[in-house]
Chain A
Amino acid sequence: MPRLSYRKALNRALADELARDEEVFLLGEDIRVAASAVTAGLLKRFGPERVRDTPLSEQAFTSFATGAAMAGARPVVEFQIPALLFLVFEQIVNHAHKFPLMTGGQCAVPVTYLVPGSGSRTGWAGQHSDHPYSLFAHVGVTTVVPATPADAYGLLVSAIRCDDPVVVFAPAGAMEVRANVSDPAPVPLGRGRVHRAGDDVTVVAVGHVVHDALAVADELAGEVSVEVFDPRTLYPFDWDGLLASVARTRRLVVVDDSNRSCGIAGEIIATVVEQVRLHAPPQRVTRPDGAVLPFASVLDRAVQPGREQLRHAIHHVSKDG
């Protein structure tokens, strides 16, 4: 079976969609030479009208994409660093997301915002290490965080075909993952995936920490039977899929590499406890409240959710009840 890297999966999804639909075009900073590698080879194949380098003007090019989408195009905007989403939050949330409703259905805004290298890239420190997916889920913008190469390909393809704005967070911690993918295919938005079946605890893991959750589940195999659920899309969330899992295990741990307050982990727990009587209080493993990632590697790691904390949380919910 052919090995596919996560990064290459994103590249292939862009190439396939550019080839499939003339209305798809890419824009972003340094994408012609593929500074992030995700757009490698695309300029040569599709030309500068379809692969457009933008000046450093995030707010304008994000709204440019909104206008183009309202006129029937399907722009994909690549952001070099996750923090740029803070600059364009207004343009995405207040314009792209709101126009369909505010115009009474007169337009659609099918823009894809692609963030390759979201979260901590070791050594990049405070302003380059955020993972702001919960913000977009909160406002109701379709938000996907693929963990594997197959999902990276499939979810990016579906994002581009979706008639709504979609933010695709490709975690830095997943970019180097490789897997056997024989036949990359679209993955529906809003559908989670059980990576590993188990009976005692459901661990919900978002993005690259899926791989940590799988490793911990393997380690604990003799002791606790852990089911690993990857929502893949944070908004809309696959509540049915998750509830089916928790209805069996009755124990829940969420691991999420974003800040604790108002994070997606809190939402997952709240929704589950509204509907399922659990055997033990659920746990979440996240970054601290209001975290800013410090530079020194040991400090950076100390702020991100790690395997040790996850093991601890699994033990904690397993003991109770």
Chain B
Amino acid sequence: MTGVDPVRLYRTVRLIRRFEERAIELVRSGHIVGGIHPYIGQEGIAAGVCAALRPDDVVAGTHRGHGHVLAKGADPARMMAELCGRVTGLNRGRGGSMHAADFAVGVLGANAIVGAGGAIVTGAVWARRRRGEDLVGVSFLGDGAVNEGMLLEAFNLAALWRVPVLFVCENNGYATTMPVADSVAGSIPARAEAFGIRASVVDGQDPAAVHATTAAALARMRAGGGPEFLEAQTYRFDAHHTFEHTVRLDYRSAEEVERGRSRDPVRIAGSRLSATDRANVDADVEAVLDAAVAEALAAPEPDPATALEHLYASGLTARTGGG
């Protein structure tokens, strides 16, 4: 568990946690419309994986993607502004929670279609390496995604063409309400191993362990070893989505949730810091998020006349709807 500063890891985990809690407050107050998929409980994975990446490496996230975007280095204020649909947001208010992207820090975007990121990041890494760059990529995905055919097709392409992509499966036990035991035949790592992809399993609640395992995988990948797969075992502390409380889904027992919550990545990462360091990070994160929320809420909404701006990169303009 060497090679990464525990303060840095704790800061990222704490930042994501508090960002999510702030975002949930903004959902409740109506400032974030449409809700979010909270990443709470899974922060150790994004923090550990992204700490092992270089700035030029690229990542593709999921519908539960805030943690990936923040951990890769996006500005929390612009991220929050995006969730609030403001023109200062990462995507100028055109993407929202499930599409947040920041190409400047290598985030190709959260993606709302389960299993979609794997092939996209494989193509992006392949194209840039063809140009002589030596970057690698990470595709985050859920346990639900390992049953999507396209993801398995992407494994095949990445393995055949030796594209250095780390597929990180965040196994939080559920796809919405569907338990892994009822949805995955065989084992998750075996999915990748069937394509000749080396697979590892790690405790996703421990960001230092995630970092160490990722760093080893990336070193092999950078040395020409082709794609790898990492199953990070974790638990989603909250609902699948912030709308869930309105429908009262019954799929996890209170005891199970309690047990899951007892292994909290924030506490685990924090336990490796002195109380003073922890307090400093906490205060710093709070200040960053206070500013982020204030900036986001103060930012203007986009001009309705620009609703279809950026639809076409070629500059084509769309006909209006008439009337």
Q: Is B126 an interface residue (CB 8 A)?
A: yes
Contact with B along A105-117 (1 / 0, CB 8 A): 1111110000000
Q: In the complex, which residue of chain B has the Cβ closest to the Cβ of A22?
A: B131
Contact between A73 and B103, CB atoms less than 8 A apart: no
CB-CB < 8 A to B124: which residues of A? 67-68, 70-71
In the complex, B109 has a CB within 8 A of chain A: yes
* Distance A68 CA – B157 CA, assembled complex (angstroms): 13
Residues from chain A with a CB closer than 8 A to the CB of B154 are 60, 63-64
**Given known A102-B109, A140-B318, A164-B313, contact A60–B94 (CB-CB < 8 A):** no
Which of chain B's residues has its CB closest to A66's CB?
A: B120
In the bound complex, do residue B316 and residue A103 qualify as a contact, i.e. CB atoms below 8 Å apart? no
Distance in angstroms from B119 CB to nearest chain A CB is 4
Complex: A124 Cα to B258 Cα, angstroms? 60
Q: Are A60 and B150 interface neighbours, CB within 8 A? A: yes
The reply to whether B119 and A99 form a contact with Cβ atoms under 8 Å apart is: no
- Chain A residue nearest in CB terms to B99: A102
Contact B123 A65 (CB under 8 A): yes
B78 → chain A closest CB, angstroms? 10
Query: Does A126 count as interface, using CB distance less than 8 angstroms?
Result: no
B113 touching A49, Cβ below 8 Å? no
Chain A positions 58-86 with a Cβ under 8 Å from a chain B Cβ: 59-73, 75
Closest to B163 in A: A64
Q: Does A104 contact B (CB under 8 A)?
A: yes
Chain A, Cβ-Cβ closest to B103: A106
Q: Shortest distance in angstroms between B33's beta carbon and chain A's nearest beta carbon?
A: 16
Q: Assuming the A-B contacts A67-B120, A67-B122, are A106 and B311 also in contact, with contact meaning beta carbons closer than 8 angstroms in the complex? A: no
Q: Which of B99, B150, B309 contacts A63 (CB 8 A)?
A: B150
Q: Do residues B127 and A71 form an inter-chain contact, with CB atoms below 8 A?
A: yes
Q: Does B276 contact A (CB under 8 A)?
A: no
Instruction: Map CB proximity to A onto B301-312 as digits: 1 under 8 Å, 0 otherwise.
Output: 000000011111
Bound state CA distance, A82 and B139, in angstroms?
Answer: 30
The answer to whether B153 and A101 touch across the interface, beta carbons within 8 angstroms, is no
- Known interface pairs A57-B153, A101-B94, A105-B92. Does A67 touch B103 (Cβ–Cβ under 8 Å)? no
Q: Tell me, rounded to whole Å, the shortest Cβ–Cβ distance linking B260 to chain A.
A: 32
B84-102 residues at the A interface, CB under 8 angstroms: 89-95, 99, 101-102
Which chain B positions have C-beta within 8 A of A140?
311, 318
| A72, B89: Cα distance in complex, Å | 24
User: Given A63-B123, A67-B122, A71-B128, A99 and B157 touching (CB < 8 A)?
Assistant: no
**For chains A and B in complex, what number of residue pairs have CB atoms within 8 angstroms?**
152
Judge whether A70 and B92 touch: CB under 8 Å. Answer: no
Q: Does A261 touch B at the CB level, under 8 Å?
A: no
- The answer to whether A64 touches B157, judged by C-beta atoms less than 8 angstroms apart, is yes
A103 and B99 in contact, given A63-B116, A73-B127, A95-B113 (Cβ under 8 angstroms):
yes
Return B288 CB to nearest CB of chain A, in Å: 22
A residues less than 8 Å from B103 (CB atoms): 103, 106-107
CB-CB < 8 A to A162: which residues of B?
314
Most chain B CB within 10 A, of A62, A100, A102, is at: A102
Contact A55 B120 (CB under 8 A): no
Residue B141 interfacial (CB < 8 Å): no
Give the interface centre of B92, B157, B160, B322 by most chain A CB atoms within 10 Å. Answer: B157
Residues A100 and B318 in contact, CB atoms below 8 Å apart? no
Give the chain A neighbours of B89 by CB distance below 8 A. Answer: 104
Which A residues lie within 8 Å of B312 (CB)? 100, 163-164
- Residue on A nearest B128 in the bound complex, by CB: A71
B156-194 vs A, Cβ < 8 Å mask (1 yes, 0 no): 110010000000000000000000000000000000000
Does A297 belong to the interface (CB within 8 Å)?
no
Q: Is B3 an interface position by the 8 A CB rule?
A: no
Indicate whether A173 reaches chain B with its CB closer than 8 angstroms: no
Task: Knowing A64-B157, A72-B131, A162-B314 are in contact, say whether A104-B120 is a contact too (CB < 8 A).
Answer: no
Which residues on A sit within 8 Å (CB–CB) of B157?
54-55, 57, 60-61, 64
Q: A107 to B101, alpha carbons, bound, how many Å?
A: 10
Which chain A positions have C-beta within 8 A of B316?
Answer: 142, 164, 190, 236
Say yes or no for A218: interface residue by CB 8 A criterion: no
Q: Is the CB of B91 within 8 A of A106?
A: yes
The answer, yes or no, to whether A90 is at the interface (CB within 8 Å) is: yes
- Say whether B121 faces chain A, with CB atoms less than 8 Å apart: yes
> Can you name the residue of chain B whose Cβ is closest to the Cβ of A60?
B153
Residues facing B in A237-273 (CB within 8 A) are none
Contacts of A164 in B (CB 8 A): 312-314, 316
Measured CA separation A222–B107 after assembly (Å)? 65
CB neighbours (8 Å) of B121 from chain A are: 67
Q: Given A57-B156, A60-B157, A104-B90, is A66 in contact with B123 using a C-beta cutoff of 8 Å?
A: yes
B149 within 8 A of A: yes
Contact yes or no, B314 A60, CB < 8 A: no
A66 CA / B322 CA spacing, docked (Å): 32
A72 touching B128, Cβ below 8 Å? yes
- A90→B113 contact, CB < 8 A: yes
**Contact residues, B38-83 vs A (CB, 8 A):** 58, 60
Other A-B contacts than A68-B124, A104-B94, 5 sampled, CB-CB below 8 A, are A60-B119, A67-B60, A67-B121, A102-B109, A190-B316
Q: Which residues on B are within 8 Å of A, measured CB to CB? A: 58, 60, 89-95, 99, 101-103, 108-109, 111, 113, 116, 118-128, 130-131, 149-150, 153-154, 156-157, 160, 308-316, 318, 322
What would be 12 A-B contacts, judged by CB atoms less than 8 Å apart? A59-B150, A61-B119, A62-B119, A63-B150, A66-B120, A66-B123, A70-B123, A106-B91, A107-B103, A109-B313, A164-B314, A236-B316
Closest 9 CB pairs of A and B: A67-B123, A60-B153, A104-B92, A108-B313, A63-B119, A57-B153, A64-B123, A68-B127, A104-B91
